[in-house]
Amino acid sequence: MQKEISYAFFGTGALAESVLATLVRNGYTPSLIVTKPDSPQGRHMLMTAPHIKTWADMKGIPTFQPASLRDISSNSPLHAEKFDLFIVASYGKIIPEEILNLPKHGILNVHPSLLPLYRGPSPIESVLLDGNITTGVSIMRLDKEMDHGPILVQSAFIIPAEATSGTLEVSCGQLGGDMLVQILPSYVEGNLIPKEQEHSKATVCKKIEKSMGEIKTTDKADDIRRKFRALTPWPGLYFFTKHDDKQIRVKVTGVDLVTDFESTATAKDVITSVIPEGKKEMNWESFLRGYEKN
């Protein structure tokens, strides 16, 4: 019989949702979900709860949404129960040392890269920007340094040719959840010992900024493909062009990711659809006829 494990789950976004769904499907339901506070969303900036909180409410699982984990009171939900474990997946906030020491068996983190490669906030986007064909998921025990803790298990896989950061995030979450299901019993029984990372081989990725999505139609096709995969769904690719004596912003909504092209090919050879500012989505040929006649 599967041993019951009392744990709190920390996470927000698609990766966290995929990890959590896999855990719950396999009988590991958290006692508490810790996620980001509600935030303004959409055109009207309405205060909206993270999807994971909405899901938790439907399941009757308590949630905790602190703006920061620093200086939270000793009567917080994290202190109210003696947890066996905390599990973190794409939480996005610093976890201070006093929180690291709360659960009996520490904190496990699902990190979507083959650590020590791609430490930092954007491992999925960065591996696609670099044009890598493989990546993986690491389950590590958190320590007080960024993505530095010892590793329990890793799993590598080939990245599908048409994968974007959005689809890859879900895939990594599902894999990470499966890995946790496999190792949790052994870990809490003390039969799985984390192994120190090879810190000398560490690489660090940077935060993705909205400005990284700007391209030029003269950019190389390969660069456009890598950027489109890495920056979809956010921040997305866009470029500026002049139309009717006005500078307009054009959002790129489709890129050919599979057809072979000459090394001299440019963005114009691989973009398939766009949304010009103030207009509806159109295919690339229609855009060229209407907006770039010269």
Q: What is the mean pLDDT of residues 209-230?
A: 97
Q: Both 138 and 258 in a single domain?
A: no
Say how far apart CA 275 and CA 35 lie, in whole Å: 34
Q: State residue 293's pLDDT score.
A: 60
8 Å CB contact between 135 and 156: yes
Q: State residue 73's pLDDT score.
A: 81
* DSSP letters spanning 96-134: -HHHHTSSTT-EEEEESS-TTTTBSS-HHHHHHHTT-SE
Q: What is the mean pLDDT of residues 85-113?
A: 94
156-186 tens-digit pLDDT: 999 999 999 999 999 999 999 999 999 999 9
- Mapped onto helix, strand or coil, the DSSP state of residue 162 is coil
101-139 tens-digit pLDDT: 999 999 999 999 999 999 999 999 999 999 999 999 999
Give all strands (DSSP E) within the chain, no chain letters. Answer: 7-11, 32-34, 39-41, 46-48, 63-64, 85-89, 107-111, 134-141, 151-158, 237-243, 246-255, 271-276, 282-283
Q: ∠ CA(148), CA(169), CA(256), 5° rounding?
A: 130
Q: How many domains does the chain have?
A: 2
Q: Both 251 and 220 in a single domain?
A: yes
Task: Please classify residue 9 by burial: count the beta carbons closer than 10 Å to its beta carbon, then call 0-12 exposed, 13-18 middle and 19+ buried.
Answer: buried
pLDDT range class, residue 2, cuts 50, 70, 90: low
Q: The domain containing residue 261 runs over which residues?
A: 210-291
Q: State residue 91's pLDDT score.
A: 94
Say how far apart CA 125 and CA 138 lie, in whole Å: 16
Evaluate whether residue 193 is within a structural domain.
Answer: yes
Q: Both 34 and 132 in a single domain?
A: yes
- 51 to each of 12, 54, 90, 162, 198, how far by Cα in Å? 8, 5, 14, 26, 36
pLDDT at 294 over 50: no
8 Å CB contact between 201 and 161: no
Q: Both 44 and 176 in a single domain?
A: yes
Q: What is the mean pLDDT of residues 34-53?
A: 87
Say how far apart CA 96 and CA 74 lie, in whole Å: 14
Evaluate whether residue 234 is within a structural domain.
Answer: yes
Q: State residue 291's pLDDT score.
A: 82
pLDDT higher for 290 or 199? 199
Q: State residue 71's pLDDT score.
A: 79
- Other C-beta atoms lying within 10 Å of the C-beta of residue 230: 23
Comparing 23-32, 46-55, 67-76, 200-209, the range with the smallest average pLDDT is: 67-76
Q: What is the mean pLDDT of the chain?
A: 94
8 Å CB contact between 136 and 155: yes
Evaluate whether residue 261 is within a structural domain.
Answer: yes
Say how far apart CA 253 and CA 236 lie, in whole Å: 8
- Mapped onto helix, strand or coil, the DSSP state of residue 244 is coil
Helix 51-59 crosses helix 14-25 at what angle (to 10 degrees)? 20
Q: What is the mean pLDDT of residues 72-83?
A: 89
Q: Both 151 and 40 in a single domain?
A: yes
Q: What is the mean pLDDT of residues 63-89?
A: 91
